[in-house]
């Protein structure tokens, strides 16, 4: 697509009302850009409740080498469960949800795509492959850039008590570099150039900058979260389910996978998981033989 500066004045759509989505939306608005926040039902009943009225408070220590910080209460331009309203005329689209939500959101998004849109997925987790596959199945031929990142721009959490979520996100740190790539790979240079017009990546673009991945699969395998989280969750499920019942008093919200769900045996499984990823990266045909 070449020159990307057309993006600098267009609205930005953030899809996903969790911690990363809310932090991105607040950060973008505090940077002075028009931003719309979308979440899909039924999650939106909780995630978007009263946000049009209260706005989103962004604060936190925001640790980073360069001391980049952006804090305040952000009143968004639109909070909605209507995908068409969220993305109409937008230049940059941020997909910020867990991988379990990708397909449902993509099926809502694809009919609304417009030429020139740039889609950023935090964190990719093979979502670019899924989105391009669904675009083909749904007959979408819009000229858009689809790219993913190896991680989110922040470590961030929603303030909550029990099941009640406050309109408040606290960023623990900001990334000063992230690895990204587009699908197809020929769009990657434009995708990385477009990052300078996405304010939730300002600490990255003003820091060490985005790093170009070799391929989108490189980005996906570079994400350490599956290595850490999957074995720890599956093998530590007994502790998780018993937390707040026979362990940890009566407060389930104090459970921490890192503090309570790990032990040397589970860490050994994580290490073997990691070695299996290395083997697949070195010999992708081996991965096909496992299917």
Provide the pLDDT for residue 2. 62
Residues 112, 33 contacting (CB under 8 angstroms): no
**Phi/psi at 285 (5° precision):** -65, -25
Helix (H, G, I), strand (E, B) or coil at 115: coil
Q: What is the DSSP letter of 61?
A: -
Helix (H, G, I), strand (E, B) or coil at 242: helix
- Residue 118 pairs with which residues in a beta bridge? 92, 145
Which pTM was predicted? 0.89
Alpha helices, H only, 61-201: 83-87, 102-109, 127-137, 188-194
Residues 5, 21 contacting (CB under 8 angstroms): no
Instruction: Give the whole-angstrom CA distance, residue 219 versus residue 127.
Output: 11
Q: Per residue in 34-59, pLDDT tens?
A: 999 999 999 999 999 999 999 999 99
219 alpha carbon, distance to own chain's centre: 13
The tokens describing 106, both together, are 């993509």
Predicted confidence (pLDDT) at residue 31 exceeds the cutoff of 60 = yes
Task: Work out the number of other CB atoms within 10 angstroms of the CB of residue 267.
Answer: 13
Q: Per residue in 164-182, pLDDT tens?
A: 899 999 999 999 999 999 9
Provide the pLDDT for residue 164. 86
Residues 10, 92 contacting (CB under 8 angstroms): yes
Provide the pLDDT for residue 67. 97
The tokens describing 135, both together, are 């675009």
Give the chain's end-to-end CA distance (angstroms, integer): 36
For residue 175, is it left (φ>0), alpha (ψ between -120 and 50) or beta? beta
Of 126, 127, 26, the residue nearest 75 (C-alpha): 26
Reported as a pLDDT band with limits 50, 70 and 90, residue 284 is: low
């Amino acid at each position: 697509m070449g020159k990307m500066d057309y993006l600098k004045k267009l609205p930005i759509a953030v899809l996903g009302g969790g911690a990363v989505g809310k932090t991105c939306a607040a950060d973008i608005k505090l940077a002075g850009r028009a931003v719309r926040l979308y979440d899909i039902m039924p999650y939106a009943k909780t995630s978007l409740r009263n946000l049009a009225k209260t706005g989103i408070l962004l604060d936190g220590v925001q640790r980073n080498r360069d001391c980049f910080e952006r804090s305040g209460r952000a009143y968004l331009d639109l909070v909605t469960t209507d995908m068409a309203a969220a993305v109409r005329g937008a230049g940059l689209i941020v997909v910020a949800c867990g991988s379990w939500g990708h397909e449902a959101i993509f099926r809502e998004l694809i009919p609304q795509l417009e030429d020139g849109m740039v889609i950023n997925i935090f964190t990719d987790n093979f979502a670019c492959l899924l989105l391009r596959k669904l675009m083909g199945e749904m007959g979408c031929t819009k000229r858009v850039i689809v790219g993913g990142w190896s991680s989110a721009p922040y470590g961030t959490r929603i303030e909550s008590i029990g099941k009640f979520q406050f309109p408040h996100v606290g960023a623990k740190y900001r990334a000063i570099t992230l690895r990204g790539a587009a699908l197809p790979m020929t769009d990657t240079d434009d995708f990385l150039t477009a990052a300078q017009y996405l304010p939730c990546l300002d600490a990255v673009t003003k820091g060490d900058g985005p790093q170009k991945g070799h391929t989108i699969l490189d980005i996906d395998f570079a994400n350490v979260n599956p290595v850490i989280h999957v074995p720890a969750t599956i093998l530590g499920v007994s502790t998780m389910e018993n937390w707040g019942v026979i362990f940890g008093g009566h407060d389930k919200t104090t459970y921490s996978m890192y503090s309570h769900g790990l032990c040397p045996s589970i860490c050994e499984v994580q290490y073997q998981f990691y070695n299996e990823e290395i083997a697949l990266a070195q010999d992708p045909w081996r991965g096909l033989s496992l299917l």
